[in-house]
Structure 1
């Protein structure tokens, strides 16, 4: 499922019309409608629409993609053979910060 289809699915799950979602974000309905139809929206438009859907955009490193997908589907690490915590290191939180690297 591509990103724009995810917007549509999320909107429907929240029982919102395109008009209602556009009103929540300050967008015009046609602008949101183009987003769902596969337009070429700007990043700030994607972020604004995500806010209206009570959601966030996130880049997921490819090496974590399958683990995150399995977790979102409710699969356990035993059934997928994946690490117990696919979120570990997703945002670089397992890497030392600059002060740790240079010994200060």
Structure 2
């Protein structure tokens, strides 16, 4: 799913009408409509849109994408660890402990 579709889906999930977004973020109606339809937004515009959708922009390394997506989809608040030895049982970290711990750092040679 491309970024523009994600923006639209987030807006719809929040039950925000397209014509309400320009007022929330301070751009013209035409500019916002163009952005959702086929836009190539500037970074500052994209930042405004993210704020208007109660969201954040993140740069996620490809090798960590599956872990981040799993964390976002997991409805019970537990996040499976990314690297597990074959004989380990599935370990989970509760979101209240630290939902992003280790997601963006590289492991050392010992798996730490």
Q: Common fold, TM-score beyond 0.5?
A: yes
Is it true that 1:6 corresponds to 2:6 in the alignment?
A: yes
Please state how far the C-alpha of 1:82 moved relative to its aligned partner: 3.1
Q: Deviations over 1:58-80 (max 9, x none)?
A: 00111211111111111752xxx
In the alignment, the residues of structure 1 paired with residue 103 and residue 73 of structure 2 have an alpha-carbon distance, to the nearest angstrom, of 18
Q: CA RMSD in A?
A: 2.6
Q: What's the counterpart of residue 88 of structure 1?
A: 101
Please state how far the C-alpha of 1:90 moved relative to its aligned partner: 4.0
> What are the ranges of 5 or more consecutive residues in structure 1 without an aligned counterpart?
96-104
> What are the ranges of 5 or more consecutive residues in structure 2 without an aligned counterpart?
84-91, 94-98
In the alignment, the residues of structure 2 paired with residue 66 and residue 38 of structure 1 have an alpha-carbon distance, to the nearest angstrom, of 27
Aligned length: 92
User: Greater helix percent: which structure?
Assistant: 1
Q: Deviations over 1:31-61 (max 9, x none)?
A: 1111111211101110001111111100011
Instruction: Please give the TM-score of this superposition, normalised by the length of structure 2.
Output: 0.69
In the alignment, the residues of structure 2 paired with residue 26 and residue 35 of structure 1 have an alpha-carbon distance, to the nearest angstrom, of 14
User: Greater strand percent: which structure?
Assistant: 2
In the alignment, the residues of structure 1 paired with residue 56 and residue 73 of structure 2 have an alpha-carbon distance, to the nearest angstrom, of 18
